[in-house]
Structure 1
Amino acid sequence: MAGHSKFKNIMHRKGAQDKKRSAMFSKLSREITVAAKMGLPDPDMNPRLRLAVNAAKAQSMPKDNIQRAIDKASQAGGEDYVEIRYEGYGPGGVALIVEALTDNRNRTATNVRTAFSKNGGNLGSEGSVSHGFERRGLIEYKAEVGDEEKVLEAAIEAGADDVESSEDGHTIWTAADALHGVASALEAALGAADNVKLAWKPVLSVDVDEATAGTLMKLIDTLDDDDDVQTVWGNYEISDEVMEKLG
């Protein structure tokens, strides 16, 4: 289900049914393999790999799966993935950034373009919407890790830029190049985070009504279901009341 918090309204995810969980593990494995191939296959020596492994652990991905994904980076004849970013507008003028890892650019481009066109959107050129976002580091903790004051104190000590706390949990923002260091410091103070990654944070958000929200969620779900798509970011805000109606 789509969440109601500010961050969960930025990055929409479906529930963790078995099929979805398998697809999620596949995407996490792909990111781990790419990260390991781009640097050393040791998370302690490779910041991007460490973030990828931490993200996998936060989703309870088995250790064997994580290690296989790392080992795959050094195997001969494996897939050669490239990173691609797509940008466009969804229903209601919502700006969307789609991050993908693919071994077939044509296939992915066709699938993304089709998803936009069939769900009230328009795919634009690179840079067409990213100017309305900031590249930031994102760290998330569940509410149970501590109250707002405890998390704020730890975040300040770790060098974070901003903290958003609610009954859903704590969202901590950092400079993009400081993410690894801040995440490591917070892990020492609060334990492992539930989510650590580079994010696209919108400068301004668009309020979405019920009619638009339904089509928008269908577009995001379609993109999210594509094996090549890693993450979908948007500048939309949907109220709790609308989210409840959408179910």
Structure 2
Amino acid sequence: MAGHSKFKNIMHRKGAQDKKRSAQFSKLSREITVAAKSGMPDPDMNPRLRLAVNNAKAVSMPKDNIQRAIDKAAAAGGEDYEEIRYEGYGPGGVAIIVEALTDNRNRTATNVRTAFSKNGGNLAASGAVAHGFERKGLIEYPATAGGEEQVLEAAIEAGADDVESSEDGHTIWTAMESLHEVAGALEKALGEPESVKLAWKPGLSVDVAEDDAGTLLKLIDTLEEDDDVQTVWGNYELSDAVMESLG
């Protein structure tokens, strides 16, 4: 169950969105509004909303912003967001999944397609790459949460499926259906996590050569900077040597 992984490279470069705080809050607000519309506007009665609110709190999003996003769900004439998943290939044959919330499907599709085409990739048909990923629950803790054995023991007790620990922190995987239950048990044992989310876990990773790495990271950054894009997942692996060469 224990193991070492560079998942923070596989998922996306840690901190890419954190540098753009206002954009991050905007994305979180959109997810909170959609979650509140999908069920009860009460986090205690709506698991998706509870998850969205907890993630917003984890990055110190003001309470007023969170409540405003929830209130938007009940507002007459409010914005209606559509959930869309795009799939494609990046430089080096990397498989990429892009999740978006949009009020204008044409705008988002054009932006995503342009990002791929301008950065060495191409958009593919729905289902083209998703078969190489598994939909899982993902819980992340900083290294300060505890040692590898401590976190492993807590994860086993909580009912998690897998743990990957490194000097960067701890990545804990769960069945999609068990995410909220496992996250709650872990919070009691280890404290508040950095993030709790549904994720796309790649079955196999692709080692990206230095020649392709820079373009790939530019593609991911471009996608993440789009207001409609919520998350970007890929099956790429970047070695320490490649990351150092990119500065």
Q: TM-score, normalised by structure 2?
A: 0.95
How many residue pairs end up in the alignment? 241
Alignment correspondent of 1:122: 122
CA deviation map 1:65-89 (0-9, x unaligned)? 1111111111111110010000000
Structure 1 CA distance, aligned partners of 2:51 and 2:86?
Answer: 22
Given that residues 17 and 224 in structure 2 are in contact (C-alpha distance below 8 angstroms), is that contact kept between their aligned partners in structure 1?
Answer: no
Alpha-carbon distance in 1 for matches of 2:246, 2:69: 36
C-alpha distance in structure 2 between counterparts of 1:208 and 1:71, whole Å: 44
Deviation at 1:240, TM superposition (A): 1.2
Q: Where in structure 2 are the equivalents of 1:1-247 lying within 5 Å?
A: 6-13=6-13, 14=16, 16-17=18-19, 20-247=20-247
Measured after TM superposition, the shift of residue 15 of structure 1 is 6.0
> Matched residues in 2 for 1:239 and 1:95: separation?
17
Contact 2:25 2:56 survives alignment (8 Å): yes
Runs of 4+ in 1 over 4 A off after TM superposition: none
- What letter corresponds to residue 198 of structure 1 in structure 2? L
Q: CA deviation at 1:234?
A: 0.1
Contact between 2:11 and 2:235, CA under 8 Å: does it hold in 1? Answer: no
**What do residues 19-46 of structure 1 show as CA deviations (whole Å, max 9, x unaligned)?**
x111011001100110011011111111
Q: Secondary structure at the match of 1:73?
A: helix
In 2, the alpha carbon distance for the partners of 1:159 and 1:16 equals 30
Which runs of 5 or more structure 1 residues have no equivalent in the other structure?
none
CA distance in 2, matches of 1:62, 1:245: 38
- Cα deviation, 1:180-230, whole Å, max 9, x if unaligned, reads 111111111111110100000000000001110000011111111100000
Residue 54 of structure 1 aligns to which amino acid in structure 2?
A: N
Larger mean CA deviation between 155-164 and 51-60 belongs to 51-60
CA displacement, residues 152-198 of structure 1 (integer Å, 9 cap, x when unaligned): 11111111000111111110000011101111111111111101000
Root mean square deviation of aligned Cα: 1.0
- Ranges in structure 2 where 5+ consecutive residues have no aligned partner: none
Change (3 A) 1:15 1:128: closer
Instruction: Calculate percent identity across the aligned residue pairs.
Output: 82
User: Residue 89 of structure 1 contacts residue 123 of structure 1 at CA under 8 Å; is this kept in 2?
Assistant: yes
**3-state SS of the aligned residue for 2:85?**
strand
Contact 1:11 1:231 in 2 (8 A): no
